[in-house]
C-alpha cells in the first residue's frame, strides 16, 4: 500500500495536490472503497474504528449484575489513581525533557561560543554542525528504525484516536520511549521544532499504556485494571493524558485542560472535565515542587528548570483606545500569515511524503540535509548583522562570555553584541524569552527582526515534516513573536505598548491564525506570560486572526489529519448530506447471520469479508425474518476459539456462556486481537452450529432508511457508534437494509457515489467558502 501510494503520489500533477495523500481509485465504484489505512507517524498503517456503544448481550448483562460494591470501589480508586499517575509521570517527563534540552543545547552553545571567543571560527562551526548533525541523526535513526509512529507531533494521531480511529502502535511503549528520546535530541539539535506536540503524544501514550492494564506480552497484568478494557474508559484516560501533556509543556494546567477540551476531544462530559482538571493539577503541583528543587541549583549547568515561562509583567499594563488599531492590525496579519503557514506547510508535507515514502535511506538523507542547512543558516546569518554596542544598563553581562546568555558576542568586538545571534544562536525558549521581555525596545534592529522572522517562518515549515518527533507550538510562537515585535518597531511611538507586548500579541495572532483555537490559546498565553491584564487584548487579537484565517483555510491539525488519511468524523453535517438519505449511501452485499449458524458459514464470512459487525436475524417459517441484533467480529472469533459449538441447530441453554468470562468479550489491548486465520478447526467442528443469541447485542441503534444522512450523522457522532443498522421503512422485506460505518459518512465516499453533488449549488458554496460550514 505504501508503495502504491508512493507511486500514485509520484505521478501526482498539480491537481492532485489538492487531494488527500491516500486517494481512492478514480473509477467510480458501488462499494465503499475508502481505504482502511492512514499515515500514522511516518508509515502507512491499518486503522480501525473504536466502539463506544454499550454491547447489550448476555455476558455483558451478567457481568454487570455481578459487580458489587467492592468492584465499584476498585474501579473508582483505580480511575483516580491512574489519573494521578498520568499527571505524575507526564510532569516528570516534561521536566526532564526540558532539563535535558537546556543542558545539551546549553553545553553546545557554550562550547561553540568559547571557541569563537578564541577566534577559532571554523572549528566552532564544525563543532556546531557536528553536534547538531549527530543529535538529528540519533533522532531520525531511532524514529525511522524503532518506531516510525513517533514521527511528527502526534497531535493529529491522538485527535483521531479521540474521534474514534485507532491505529496499532501509536500508543505502544516503543513509541513512547522513541518519542521522548527523539524529541529531546531533535529540540537540542537546533532544529526549529517544538516539544509541546510530542509531549501531548507522550501524555496520551502514558495514559493508554496504563489503561491497557500492563502488557500481556511481558505478563504484566493486574486484575484491577480489567474495568478499563473498553474503549470509553481508555478514551477518557487519553483525554486526561493529552491535557497533562500541554500542562507539562507550558506549565499551563488550565490551558492544558482547555486544549484537550477544545482541540483534542470529540466527546466531552462534565465528569471528564473534573478528571482532566485533577490530572492537570497534579502536573502543576509536581512541576512547582521540582522547580523549587531546581531553583536551589541542583539541576545541572543550565537547568534552572525554567520551562517556558516568559514573565512580561509590567505591573500595570495600560492601554487605551488608540492602542486598538495596532492590535487589530496584528490580528489581521496573524490571520493572513497563519493561513499562509498552513497552506505552505501542507504543500511541503506533500513533497516530503514523496521523499519519505521512498525508503528509510531517503528519510535519513532528508533529515540530515535539513539539519546541515539549519546549522549553516544559524551560524551564517548572524554574520550579516551589524554589531551593536552593549547598553550601559544591561541586567546581565554583555556580551555574554563563557555561559549561556542573551547578549551573544559572536564575531563582535568586546563591548558589542550581535543582536541576530542573540535570537538565532540560542535555544528557542531563550529566543522567545528575549522577544517577550520588556524594556528591550532598543535591543534589536528592525532588519534583524525581519531576517529572524523570515528564517523562522520557513525553517519551522521545512523542519516539521522530517521523520523525527516535532511539535508546532514553539515554532509558531517564536515566528509570531518575531513579526509581532517587528510590527511594534514599525509603529514605534504611536502606541503605548512596549515591543515585548507586541511580541506576545504577535505570537497569539499566529497561533490563532494557524491553530484556530480560542479559549485554550487565550489561557495558554496568559499562563505563559503571567499577565492577566492583557486578557482583553489577547482575546481581541485571537478573534480577529481566527476570523481572517478561517476565510482562507482550516485548522492546521485538521489539514494534517486529512493529509494522513484519518477518517475524522466532523460534528456538523455538510449541507449536501441533508439531500441524501441513509438508503442512498448504504450498500450491500450485506452479510447476515442466523440466530443459530453453522460454524463453516461463520468461518467463511469472517475470512472473506473485513466487516466488524454482522446483523443476526431470526427466521421462522411462518413469519417474516426478524432482526435479533448485531454481533461483533471479535466476539465471533472468541466463540470460535473457545469452540462453543452445538451438535444440532437448537437454542443453547441458559448456561451456554458458563465457559466464558466477561474478560473474553472485553476490548483487547491495541493490536492484541486474535485473527481468524489463527483458528484451526476440524471438519467435524465446521459442520457444527453456534447459538449466537446470547452473544448478540440485542439492542443496536437503528435508523430508518429514509432518514437523511445529516440526521443519522448526528446520532452516529453524538453517541459514538461504530455500526449503525439501517432498517427498511416497509417491514416485509429483509429486516435490515445495511450497516453504516464511519467511512460511509466521509465526504470523499459520498461525493464519489454522487459526483453530481460536487457541482451542485451546495457543494459549490462549500468550495467557494471552504470553511463556511464550520461557522454554522
Contact status, residue 560 vs residue 154, Cβ threshold 8 Å: no
104, 192, 258, 639: which one binds its own copies (CB under 8 A): 258
Closest CA to 705 of 746, 671, 752, 739: 739
Secondary structure E strands in 326-479: 387-389, 416-418
14, 15, 68, 413: which one binds its own copies (CB under 8 A): 68
The answer to whether residue 775 forms part of the interface with its own copies (CB under 8 A) is: yes
What are the grid coordinates assigned to 654, written together? 441458559
Choices 67-75, 213-221, 379-387, 746-754; region in contact with its own copies by CB under 8 A: 67-75
10, 123, 351, 532: which one binds its own copies (CB under 8 A): 532
Interaction residues for its own copies, span 698-757 (CB under 8 A): 698-699, 701-704, 706-708, 710-711, 714-715, 718-719, 729-732, 735
The answer to whether residue 767 forms part of the interface with its own copies (CB under 8 A) is: no
Q: How far is the CB of 497 from its own copies (least distance, A)?
A: 14
Q: How far is the CB of 64 from its own copies (least distance, A)?
A: 6
Contact status, residue 611 vs residue 653, Cβ threshold 8 Å: no
The answer to whether residue 369 forms part of the interface with its own copies (CB under 8 A) is: no
Which residues are within 8 A (CB) of 720 and not within 5 positions of it... i.e. 6 or more apart?
Answer: 50, 51, 52, 53, 164, 232, 266, 267
The answer to whether residue 533 forms part of the interface with its own copies (CB under 8 A) is: yes
Choices 198-206, 288-296, 365-373, 469-477; region in contact with its own copies by CB under 8 A: 288-296
What are the grid coordinates assigned to 479, written together? 515566528
What are the grid coordinates assigned to 609, written together? 469479508
For residue 212, the 8-state DSSP code is T
Distance CA 149, CA 201 (A): 11
Distance CA 673, CA 576 (A): 37
197, 253, 303, 488: which one binds its own copies (CB under 8 A): 253
Contact status, residue 420 vs residue 450, Cβ threshold 8 Å: no
HEC profile for 181-206? HHHHHHHHCCCCCECHHHHHHHHHHH
Q: How far is the CB of 243 from its own copies (least distance, A)?
A: 10
Q: How far is the CB of 512 from its own copies (least distance, A)?
A: 11
Choices 406-414, 466-474, 521-529, 593-601; region in contact with its own copies by CB under 8 A: 521-529
Interaction residues for its own copies, span 294-313 (CB under 8 A): 313
Q: Helix crossing, 519-529 with 231-250: angle to 10°?
A: 40
Choices 59-67, 137-145, 454-462, 490-498; region in contact with its own copies by CB under 8 A: 59-67
527, 691, 744, 748: which one binds its own copies (CB under 8 A): 527
User: Using CB under 8 A as the criterion, what x/- string covers residues 617-656 for binding its own copies?
Assistant: ------xx-x------------------------------
Closest CA to 435 of 479, 481, 477, 389: 481
Q: How far is the CB of 205 from its own copies (least distance, A)?
A: 24
- 3 state DSSP class of 632: strand
Distance CA 600, CA 430 (A): 67
Q: How far is the CB of 487 from its own copies (least distance, A)?
A: 20
For residues 310 and 645, which CB has a smaller minimum distance to its own copies in the complex? 310
- 3 state DSSP class of 43: strand
Interaction residues for its own copies, span 268-287 (CB under 8 A): 268-271, 273-274, 277-278, 280-281, 284-285
Q: How far apart are the first and last CA of the chain?
A: 37
The answer to whether residue 776 forms part of the interface with its own copies (CB under 8 A) is: yes
- 3 state DSSP class of 24: coil
The answer to whether residue 523 forms part of the interface with its own copies (CB under 8 A) is: yes
For residues 610 and 768, which CB has a smaller minimum distance to its own copies in the complex? 768
104, 199, 248, 257: which one binds its own copies (CB under 8 A): 257
The answer to whether residue 254 forms part of the interface with its own copies (CB under 8 A) is: yes
Choices 101-109, 181-189, 479-487, 527-535; region in contact with its own copies by CB under 8 A: 527-535
Closest CA to 247 of 381, 97, 87: 87
For residues 83 and 640, which CB has a smaller minimum distance to its own copies in the complex? 83
The answer to whether residue 438 forms part of the interface with its own copies (CB under 8 A) is: no
User: Using CB under 8 A as the criterion, what x/- string covers residues 319-338 for binding its own copies?
Assistant: -xx-----------------
Q: How far is the CB of 86 from its own copies (least distance, A)?
A: 15
Grid cell 422485506 is found at 733
Q: How far is the CB of 602 from its own copies (least distance, A)?
A: 24
The answer to whether residue 761 forms part of the interface with its own copies (CB under 8 A) is: yes
Distance CA 156, CA 367 (A): 21
Task: Specify the pairing of strand 626-632 against strand 613-618.
Answer: antiparallel
Give the interface size with its own copies as a residue count (CB under 8 A): 84
Distance CA 612, CA 591 (A): 11
Secondary structure E strands in 410-528: 416-418
Interaction residues for its own copies, span 209-228 (CB under 8 A): none
| Residue 323 Cα distances to 334, 544, 546, angstroms | 17, 15, 20
Distance CA 127, CA 133 (A): 10
536, 588, 653, 755: which one binds its own copies (CB under 8 A): 536
Amino acid at each position: 500500500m505504501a508503495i502504491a501510494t508512493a507511486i500514485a503520489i509520484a505521478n501526482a500533477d498539480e491537481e492532485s495536490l489538492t487531494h488527500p495523500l491516500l486517494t481512492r481509485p478514480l473509477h467510480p465504484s458501488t462499494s465503499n472503497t475508502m481505504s482502511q489505512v492512514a499515515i500514522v507517524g511516518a508509515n502507512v498503517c491499518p486503522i480501525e474504528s473504536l466502539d463506544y456503544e454499550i454491547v447489550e448481550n448476555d455476558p455483558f448483562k451478567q457481568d454487570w449484575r455481578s459487580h458489587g460494591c467492592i468492584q465499584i470501589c476498585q474501579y473508582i480508586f483505580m480511575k483516580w489513581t491512574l489519573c494521578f499517575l498520568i499527571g505524575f509521570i507526564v510532569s516528570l517527563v516534561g521536566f526532564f525533557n526540558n532539563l535535558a534540552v537546556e543542558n545539551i543545547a546549553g553545553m553546545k552553545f557554550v562550547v561553540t561560543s568559547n571557541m569563537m571567543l578564541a577566534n577559532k571560527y571554523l572549528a566552532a562551526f564544525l563543532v556546531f554542525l557536528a553536534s547538531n548533525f549527530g543529535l538529528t541523526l540519533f533522532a531520525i535513526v531511532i524514529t525511522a528504525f524503532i518506531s516510525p509512529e513517533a514521527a511528527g507531533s502526534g497531535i493529529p494521531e491522538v485527535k483521531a484516536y479521540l474521534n474514534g480511529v485507532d491505529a496499532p502502535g501509536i500508543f505502544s511503549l516503543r513509541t513512547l520511549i522513541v518519542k521522548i528520546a527523539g524529541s529531546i535530541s531533535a529540540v537540542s539539535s537546533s532544529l526549529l521544532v517544538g516539544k509541546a506536540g510530542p509531549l501531548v503524544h507522550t501524555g496520551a501514550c502514558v495514559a493508554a499504556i496504563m489503561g491497557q492494564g500492563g502488557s500481556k506480552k511481558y505478563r504484566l497484568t493486574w486484575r484491577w485494571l480489567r474495568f478499563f478494557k473498553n474503549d470509553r474508559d481508555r478514551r477518557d484516560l487519553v483525554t486526561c493524558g493529552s491535557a497533562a501533556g500541554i500542562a507539562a509543556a507550558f506549565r499551563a494546567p488550565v490551558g492544558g485542560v482547555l486544549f484537550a477540551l477544545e482541540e483534542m476531544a470529540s466527546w466531552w462530559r462534565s465528569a471528564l472535565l473534573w478528571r482532566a482538571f485533577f490530572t492537570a493539577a497534579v502536573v502543576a503541583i509536581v512541576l512547582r515542587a521540582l522547580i523549587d528543587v531546581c531553583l536551589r541549583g541542583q539541576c545541572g549547568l543550565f537547568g534552572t528548570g525554567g520551562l517556558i515561562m516568559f514573565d512580561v509583567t509590567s505591573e500595570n499594563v495600560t492601554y487605551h483606545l488608540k492602542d486598538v488599531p495596532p492590535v487589530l492590525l496584528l490580528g489581521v496579519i496573524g490571520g493572513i500569515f497563519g493561513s499562509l503557514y498552513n497552506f505552505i506547510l501542507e504543500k511541503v508535507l506533500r513533497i516530503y511524503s514523496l521523499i519519505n515514502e521512498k525508503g528509510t535511506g531517503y528519510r535519513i538523507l532528508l533529515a540530515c540535509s535539513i539539519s546541515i542547512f539549519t546549522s549553516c543558516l544559524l551560524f551564517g546569518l548572524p554574520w550579516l548583522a551589524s554589531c551593536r554596542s552593549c547598553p550601559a544598563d544591561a541586567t546581565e553581562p554583555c556580551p555574554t562570555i563563557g555561559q549561556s546568555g542573551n547578549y551573544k558576542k559572536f564575531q563582535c568586538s568586546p563591548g558589542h553584541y550581535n543582536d541576530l545571534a542573540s535570537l538565532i544562536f540560542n535555544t528557542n525558549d531563550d529566543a522567545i524569552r528575549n522577544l517577550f521581555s520588556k524594556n528591550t525596545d532598543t535591543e534589536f534592529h528592525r532588519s534583524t527582526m525581519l531576517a529572524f522572522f523570515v528564517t523562522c517562518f520557513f525553517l519551522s515549515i521545512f523542519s516539521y515534516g522530517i521523520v523525527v518527533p516535532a511539535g508546532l507550538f514553539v515554532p509558531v510562537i517564536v515566528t509570531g513573536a518575531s513579526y509581532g515585535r517587528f510590527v511594534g518597531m514599525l509603529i514605534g511611538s504611536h502606541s503605548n505598548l512596549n515591543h515585548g507586548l507586541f511580541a506576545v500579541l504577535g505570537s497569539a495572532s499566529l497561533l490563532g491564525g494557524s491553530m484556530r483555537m480560542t479559549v485554550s490559546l487565550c489561557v495558554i498565553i496568559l499562563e505563559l506570560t503571567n499577565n492577566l491584564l492583557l486578557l482583553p487584548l489577547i482575546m481581541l487579537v485571537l478573534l480577529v486572526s481566527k476570523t481572517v484565517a478561517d476565510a482562507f483555510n482550516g485548522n492546521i491539525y485538521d489539514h494534517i489529519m486529512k493529509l494522513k488519511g484519518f477518517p475524522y468524523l466532523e460534528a456538523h453535517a455538510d449541507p449536501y448530506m441533508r439531500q441524501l438519505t441513509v438508503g442512498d449511501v448504504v450498500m450491500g452485499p450485506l452479510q447476515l447471520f442466523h440466530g443459530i449458524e453453522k460454524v463453516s458459514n461463520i468461518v467463511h464470512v469472517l475470512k472473506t469479508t473485513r466487516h466488524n459487525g454482522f446483523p443476526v436475524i431470526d427466521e421462522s417459517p411462518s413469519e417474516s425474518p426478524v432482526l435479533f441484533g448485531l454481533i461483533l467480529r471479535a466476539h465471533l472469533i472468541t466463540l470460535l476459539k473457545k469452540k462453543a459449538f452445538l451438535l444440532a441447530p437448537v437454542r443453547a441453554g441458559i448456561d451456554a456462556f458458563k465457559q466464558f468470562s466477561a474478560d473474553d468479550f472485553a476490548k483487547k489491548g491495541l493490536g492484541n486481537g486474535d485473527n481468524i486465520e489463527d483458528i484451526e478447526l476440524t471438519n467435524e467442528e465446521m459442520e457444527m452450529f453456534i447459538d449466537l443469541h446470547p452473544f448478540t447485542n440485542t439492542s443496536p441503534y437503528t435508523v430508518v432508511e429514509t432518514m437523511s444522512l445529516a440526521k443519522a450523522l448526528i446520532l452516529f457522532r453524538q453517541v459514538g457508534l461504530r455500526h449503525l443498522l439501517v432498517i427498511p421503512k416497509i417491514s416485509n422485506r429483509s429486516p435490515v437494509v445495511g450497516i453504516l460505518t464511519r467511512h460511509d459518512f466521509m465526504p470523499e465516499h459520498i461525493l464519489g457515489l454522487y459526483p453530481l453533488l460536487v457541482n451542485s449549488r451546495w457543494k459549490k458554496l462549500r468550495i467557494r467558502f471552504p470553511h463556511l460550514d464550520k461557522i454554522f
